[in-house]
Amino acid sequence: MTTSTEVKAAAKESELFVQSLARGLATIEAFDAQHPELTLSEVATRSGVSRASARRFLHTLVDLGFAATDGRLFRLTPRVLRLGYAYLASQPLPGLVGPYLQELSDQVGESVSASELDGSEVVYVARVQTRRIMHVAIGVGTRFPAATTSMGRVLLAGLPPEEALHRMRATPIPALTERTLTSPEAVATELDRVREQGWCLVDQELEAGLRSVAAPVHGPDGTVVCAVNVSLSVAGPDDDAAAAAERVLAPLLKCASDIEAALARR
């Protein structure tokens, strides 16, 4: 979520920066799955803008049909999807990976996803869900701290080590479970392992009872353009993470390879 500090920092870097636009977008970003409805004060606090600015931005969004209000609570409307759809429609990746994710899901019998890196966060761009095994519902556009997820670590590992460490240090890594690595340096050590083996296993760091295995997808120029993963539930204390990963690893790596071939053909 964009903050006022980030807005001010960006404004200092460019004379072309439109601060009011940035603050308006921060107002939209104040809403999420945990905060679908907010008061004016809550929007101001979460977006880091003044109450007066938040009021103007919110009522502008209401007038344009991007938000609605009952006089006290504000919420976004489906019209906001136009903003996200413009990206999805203009990018080949989300549509291209769909059939390959479906094939992988059918083969392993688990939910699978694809994501891209946005700053220090991972953003889901495609997903095939077989059953809900997470407390938080996941869909296209869902974001998580990259350092705590298998896809995020795969994507961070695709960056130069210094850049990956810089991104992780930019935002505190939340302790989502007792297993979560919250030190950027500790995660950086894991990234070395990911670079060496070419895939990543994260065991109950994002949510207790959930583990996932991810692999990178390289573009024609060799850079990592996205990641794909398989989500697995933990059956019990004797459920071995390495064995679970081994079960889905070969189909996952083949899926990533097939997507790479499709990208090369395009």
**Which tokens is 172 given?**
């505190």
pLDDT tens for each residue of 17-48: 888 999 999 999 999 878 999 999 999 999 99
**Is the confidence at residue 98, as pLDDT, over 80?**
yes
pLDDT tens for each residue of 148-164: 999 999 999 999 999 99
Residue 95 sits at φ, ψ, to 5 deg, of -75, -35
Confidence tier at 202 by pLDDT (50, 70, 90) = very high
The residue assigned the tokens 């095994």 is 133
**Is the confidence at residue 102, as pLDDT, over 60?**
yes
Report the pLDDT averaged over residues 204-217. Answer: 95
Report the pLDDT averaged over residues 175-192. Answer: 96
- Find all residues with CB under 8 Å of 233, minimum gap 6, and list them: 133, 209, 210, 211
Any bridge partners for residue 115, and if so which? Answer: 124, 227
- Find all residues with CB under 8 Å of 177, minimum gap 6, and list them: 204, 205, 206, 207, 208
pLDDT tens for each residue of 64-83: 999 999 999 999 999 988 88
Q: Where are the alpha helices (DSSP H) in 30-179?
A: 40-47, 51-64, 81-90, 92-108, 150-157, 161-170
Distance of CA 14 to the CA centre of its chain: 27
